[in-house]
Amino acid sequence: MTATTYQPGEIRGLIEIDASKCKGCDACQKFCPTNAIEGASGAVHSINEEKCLSCGQCLINCPFSAIKETHSALETVIQKLADKNTTVVGIIAPAVRVAIGEEFGLGTGELVTDKLYGAMNHAGFKIFDCNFAADLTIMEEGSEFIHRVRSLVKGETNAGPLPQFTSCCPGWVRFAETKYPSLLPYLSTAKSPQQMSGTVAKTYGAKIYDMQPEKIFTVSVMPCTSKKLEASRPEFNSAWKYHQQQGSNAAPYQDVDAVLTTREMAQLLKLLDIDLATIAPYKGDSLFSQYTGAGTIFGTTGGVMEAALRTAYKVLTEEELPKLEFEPVRGLEGIKTASVTLTDKSLNKELTVNVAVIHDMSRNIEPILQEVLAGTSPYHFIEVMNCAGGCVNGGGQPIDGSGTSWVANI
Ligand code: SF4
Ligand code: SF4
Ligand code: SF4
């Protein structure tokens, strides 16, 4: 991997090995997509920061709990919740709601959306469901894909190249940036749902909350350690830039001010003495807690692709999808592929779209990328999620103490 320097302001060293606990068992190395974990068998291991994607897959799979996440924003979030002059917006990712219940004695995989809304509302958060922004991402990513496909059919060269890769997984984006920068034009230009949420909360949301944007503090709750790195990227201050253009003189601020992993949100609720298991459910009270099924399936492998295909189908054929699901891109196989034939009404042409879905990058990404680099890829659209199973198995999710994550051996 090419050595890379982090941009000023980006968080580095997000994942660390505790030398006093590491047994040198090598288990973590199997899960690392970039061979960032160094050290001989039996000796204490360490993480090469320059190669690390901050994905946390090593962390959730270390049998000796020797790997930890750093840069906790818990204290800052507690201070902001107590500050009457600040509106704290909690942005809840799709995969959090099916995992956080475990931390409060509820069933593994139990969907607790309304209870989580209730608990966070009780803590003082305004609820902003990241599923709402996942819907925005799908509209952006799906429209961009249609534009690229139509340009190809018409022989135009001004759209981006195919295959188009998804861009919502920061582990994958950093992998491409550091290892295969020549592939960057193939990635969708759409921001991730987390980053769209932060921007929307501080622009349109500022109107809804009737607040100055600089007094809004956005906290995203994510299944993902790499989202802390994403939020810290210096280019992600679109709301501040927008308000500057409108005449604001406020000091620079990020679109997403803090990221808490699912584990950290559970810790926060416990510190505030809020029991998710017994809290009264809450439905949310604004547009930002509305979303479609497309936004909901973002958290699992194949979900982004399925949602994008639904959008593409409707736009190209100008018809509703007869059946709401594309099963070929579901499931836990390492690489899933499908072909969908659609009639593009505006071009009056039948198009066959070949798609691929990849998760668990450490095992599955290379062959697909080598085809693209060689110009022989049969695909038009490729979804990539770093973690095995997608975000539901992200590096920020609860750890059950068994020593491996639930999809480690698929
Ligand atoms: S899995 Fe854990 S104990 Fe084993 S080498 Fe990695 S950090 Fe050390
Ligand atoms: S966080 Fe991810 S990229 Fe970094 S060392 Fe662990 S598995 Fe490798
Ligand atoms: S798959 Fe999801 S949890 Fe894993 S690195 Fe990507 S965005 Fe984060």
Q: Which domain holds residue 264?
A: 74-131+193-291
Please list the pLDDT of the chain residue by residue as tens digits (410 residues). Answer: 444 578 888 999 999 999 999 999 999 999 999 999 999 999 999 999 999 999 999 999 999 999 999 999 999 999 999 999 999 999 999 999 999 999 999 998 899 999 999 999 999 999 999 999 988 988 899 889 989 988 888 888 788 999 999 999 999 999 999 999 999 999 999 999 999 999 999 999 999 889 999 999 999 999 999 999 999 999 999 999 999 999 999 999 999 999 999 999 999 999 999 999 999 999 988 889 888 766 666 667 777 788 887 887 888 888 876 654 566 666 678 888 888 888 888 888 888 889 999 999 999 999 999 999 999 999 999 999 999 999 999 999 999 766 555 455 44
Does the beta carbon of 55 sit less than 6 angstroms from any atom of ligand 2? yes
Does the beta carbon of 390 sit less than 6 angstroms from any atom of ligand 3? yes
Mark whether 213 and 123 lie in a shared domain. yes
Domain count of the fold of the chain: 3
Mark whether 119 and 265 lie in a shared domain. yes
Q: Whose atoms come closest to the Cα of 39: which ligand? A: 1
CA–centroid distance, residue 259 to ligand 3 (Å): 14
By alpha-carbon position, which residue is closest to atom 2 of ligand 1? 62
Residue 323 resides in a domain = yes
Pocket test for ligand 3, best of 169, 357, 393 (most atoms within 8 A of CB): 169
Give pTM, 2 decimals: 0.93
The catalytic site residues sit at: 141, 144, 168, 188, 227, 230, 235, 391
Mark whether 116 and 229 lie in a shared domain. yes
> What residues form DSSP beta bridges with 15?
69
The minimum-distance atom of ligand 1 relative to the CA of 24 is 5
CA–centroid distance, residue 334 to ligand 2 (Å): 19
Mark whether 315 and 210 lie in a shared domain. no
Mark whether 214 and 303 lie in a shared domain. no
CATH number of the domain encompassing residue 47: 3.30.70.20
Does the beta carbon of 30 sit less than 6 angstroms from any atom of ligand 1? no
Q: What does the alpha-carbon distance between residue 67 and residue 73 come to, in Å, rounded to a whole number?
A: 18
CATH number of the domain encompassing residue 175: 3.40.950.10
Mark whether 254 and 210 lie in a shared domain. yes
